[in-house]
Homo-oligomer: A and B are copies of this chain.
Amino acid sequence: MPLPLPLPSPVSSLLWRSLRVYQVYGANTDVGKTIFSTLLCKAATRFWDNEQTAFLKPVSTGPLDEADDRHVQRFAPEVANKTLFQYDLAVSPHSAALASKRLIPPDESLLDEISKFASRRASLSRGWLFIETAGGVHSPGPSGSTQAELYMPLRLPVVLIGDAKLGGISQTISAFESLKIRGYDVEAVLLFREDKYQNHLYLTDYFRDQQGIPVKTVPEPPARGESISRDADSMLWYYETTSSSPTAQSILSYLAAQHSKRIDRLDSMRASAHKTIWYPFTQQKQLSASNITVIDSAQGDHFQTLTSSAPPSAPLLQPTFDASASWWTQGLGHGSPSLALAAAYAAGRYGHVMFAEAIHEPALALAENLLAGMANPRLTRVFYSDNGSTGAEVAVKMALRAARVRYGWGAEEEVGVLGLRGSYHGDTIGAMDCSEPGVFNEKVEWYEGRGFWFEYPTVMCREGRWVVEIPREMRSTASYGGHKAVFASLGDVFGVKDRENRGEGALYEQYIVDTLERLHREGRRFGALILEPVILGAGGMLLVDPLFQRVLVNVVRRSSHLFGQGEHRGAKEMGDSTTHWAGLPVVFDEVFTGIYRLGRFSAASFLHVDADISVHAKLLTGGLVPLCATLASESVFDAFGSDDKSDALLHGHSYTAHAVGCQVALESLRQMKEMDAHEEWAWAKTSYQRNEVPSKPSLGMSPESLIWSVWGPDFVNWVSQQTASSVGGAWALGTVLAIHMETKDGSAGYKSGAAKDIQASLARGAVVVEGIEGDGAGWNVHSRVLGNVLYVMAGHKTKEKSVRQLESILRRVLLEKKHQ
């Protein structure tokens, strides 16, 4: 099989025990960055004379003889000194690079060169490295990305050179804030002591009070005279005095202490967490401190995690691919500056403001946006809560009340939900009660499954064929080409209307009707149908035959006689069948499957049915903060209207519709919709269009109906054939890939550990991919398993090459498993 080309490893944050690396940023151009860098270098060599000091200028612009490295070379010849990219024109690097007509280094090459240089220094000896940026914090680098953004993944502690000139207070604070909102730690602010404006006085108080950051000053350098040699002499004298001053010594001591403090803290975090944190969903008796992942920061697809390396010259941090998308929440990548800015904007504009009987712009705009995005004519109302679990409780409270009011049931009557076996809606008791007993809830006090849960057919690629497997319960009812149906592609499975027209739904319908009639005879009462459309997430990453879910909804909607016992008031009140609920309110829990997780705004669109209530969380905020929106129809809403306040939906959290969450969600939806409109996933769609069977020419296929995934069809096909590696089957949809391992006893429950060894291989990283160069270092993958299922999830900004690299790693891991 073809293997991808060698790729640069993802960027690693730079941290070594042996090397103190500081990045020197300027509050503006011409604030003395190079003078301070020279001074820091000289002081480091002076006070740490048994160590080595280096200076790195990644990008320099301006005539060579005026270049910053030349200055350092001249006045601190004792210091190792390097410039990576030099452009002659004295303008911003992006303009200078363009004017140079030379190849413009992409950001990742620039970071790679810096990493290499720093690594070499770290392995050489103990010491210091000062990396000087160009211009101000947001001056664009060669590629055009601003430096504050392009250097983010390195997460170097910063020495910010403040601006001593008129206006410099403002420039210094703003530069600081731009760094801060990108997750930088500014360790110290240095600036010239200037007597007219005395910016240092103001800034000293400001940074101490607001941020606990020390501000230190040195005298201004001598003014340039007319004699070059005399200028040089006075600069030499300036450096001699300032670099040997107690101030210089105290700055360096402080920076050295901060470096030690950061490492000491990282070293101790596992043990502290192990004794302080009560982890969610974790049997802590089985968790040793050493297995805790210490996350120093995260950018894009990667965590920066603490390594367990001991030697002083070994890197302490490594990039680790976040393949669970941090419990399915991530879409726009970690550390997104645009989301950070959106959060800060809402925080600055509102903080949080109470929501009962009040309205603010982000909450209203988000509600309008969600209703428009769903394109579901039933949905008119948005109720906010804090997470998927609370949102599911809200949904169920809505549905049960609507059913009770319409069917005239008393408050004392026991009413359950209809759902699918193994479905999961959250961890609060009310959400748990919507699920059948299982490993997630059976030991939880007060849990009480309230409902009936249907069997259902599942879909999987097995040995290269897309198979719909019919559970025994249905097989006994009718025949459907045996116990399974085989399709040429996943797209064909999702051709639900075609399949319905071909009569493939009859078997399902029969089973559902039979079951509902039996439940009716038994006197069971139900107030909602609640489904995770298309995929049961926590229940084991099961892809449910979409035709089954569609038929289930349709049967429930026309079966009010089976719910309301004939005497209900429903039929007359139902109104327009395209907007009013019928039978039972249909709740779609799209917490996992919605908002582009499966490549579409709403997962309901795969079924071509509209829910009466729809729950959205996780990706809703692009992966930043908790927020949930439960959308409902007016006919559900109306059930709560009365002249009695206590008939209202008495649910509401203090931070309901918090402005930060709503604003971030708005920004996230904006970006997602834009990516969709700009066909940013065309690279992934293309291979699925090709993959479609000839009977459906790809050119004629409307993009809305295309079934696609970032995981290539050939790859999924290949995985599904690795039966020798214990693969039972696989599927991929949108950003999700699920590999179902077969356990020897055929069981596939949550407690199974069958996928654990693959997870361990991925975590070990440094996978050598056969036939390609490079050692794959940095391709550690943090994944989660659900019993026998290993799943891997990409973000919506994950690049094609990263997905391909992950595919290579997975191939390799599966092949290794075969040889074991």
Closest residue of chain B to A274 (Cβ to Cβ) is B359
Q: In the complex the two chains form, is B177's CB within 8 Å of A178's CB?
A: yes
Question: A368 — nearest CB in chain B belongs to which residue?
Answer: B276
Contacting pair A358 B174 (CB below 8 A): no
Whether B328 lies near A654 (C-beta < 8 A) is yes
* A38-78 CB contacts (< 8 Å) to partner B: none
Cα separation A29 to B172 with both chains bound (whole Å):
13
For A429, the chain B residues whose CB sits under 8 A away are 393, 428-430, 433
Known: A181-B347, A354-B326, A393-B428. A283 touches B445 (CB 8 A): no
The answer, among B178, B346, B646, B655, for a CB contact under 8 Å with A439, is: B646
Which of A159-185 touch B at CB < 8 Å? 166-167, 169-171, 173-175, 177-178, 180-184
**Cβ distance A525 to chain B, nearest Cβ, rounded Å:** 11
- Check A387–B388 contact: CB distance below 8 A: no
Q: Does A790 contact B (CB under 8 A)?
A: no
Expressed in whole angstroms, the Cα–Cα distance for A384 and B282 within the complex equals 13
Measured in the bound complex, the distance between the Cα atoms of B646 and A439 in whole Å is 6
Chain B residues near A279: list those with CB within 8 A.
355-357, 383, 652
User: Which among A137, A175, A344, A358 has the highest number of chain B CB atoms within 10 Å?
Assistant: A344
Task: Return the contact of A297 from the options B344, B349, B371, B450 (Cβ within 8 A).
Answer: B349
Selected contact of A181 from candidates B270, B341, B643, B784, CB within 8 Å: B341
Which residues of chain B come closer than 8 Å to A283, judged between CB atoms?
640-648
Whether the pair B280, A180 counts as a contact (CB closer than 8 A) is no
Contacts of A744 in B (CB 8 A): none
User: In the assembly, what is the distance between CA of A643 and CA of B649, in Å?
Assistant: 42
In the complex, the answer to whether A92 meets B642 with C-beta atoms within 8 Å is no
Partner of A278 from B303, B340, B632, B653 at Cβ < 8 Å: B632
List the B side residues contacting A655 at CB < 8 Å: 329, 387, 625-626
Q: How many chain copies?
A: 2
Inter-chain CA distance A410–B432, complex, in Å, is 20
CB of A411 closer than 8 Å to a CB of B:
yes
A28-B171, A286-B643, A656-B280 known; A334+B353 contact, CB < 8 A: yes
Chain B min CB distance to A175 (Å):
5
Given A336-B347, A381-B277, A446-B433, the answer on whether A427 and B326 have CB atoms closer than 8 Å is no
Query: Does A97 reach chain B (CB closer than 8 Å)?
Result: no
Are B136 and A278 in contact (CB-based, < 8 A)? no
The reply to whether the CB of A584 lies closer than 8 angstroms to some CB of chain B is: no
Q: Which residues of B contact A169 (CB under 8 A)?
A: 92, 135-136, 138-140, 146
Specify which of A136, A278, A346, A426 lies most central, judged by the most chain B CB atoms within 10 Å of its CB: A278
C-alpha spacing A411/B448, complex, angstroms: 11
Structural contact, A197 and B350, CB atoms closer than 8 A: no
Considering the chains assembled together, what is the distance between the CA atoms of A766 and B530 in angstroms? Answer: 51
15 examples of A-B residue contacts, CB within 8 angstroms: A95-B197, A146-B173, A181-B345, A278-B630, A278-B649, A280-B355, A283-B644, A292-B359, A298-B349, A303-B358, A335-B351, A387-B654, A388-B653, A411-B445, A617-B654
Interchain residue pairs A-B with the least CB separation, the first 10? A280-B652, A136-B170, A183-B349, A429-B430, A29-B167, A340-B347, A183-B348, A344-B344, A181-B344, A138-B170
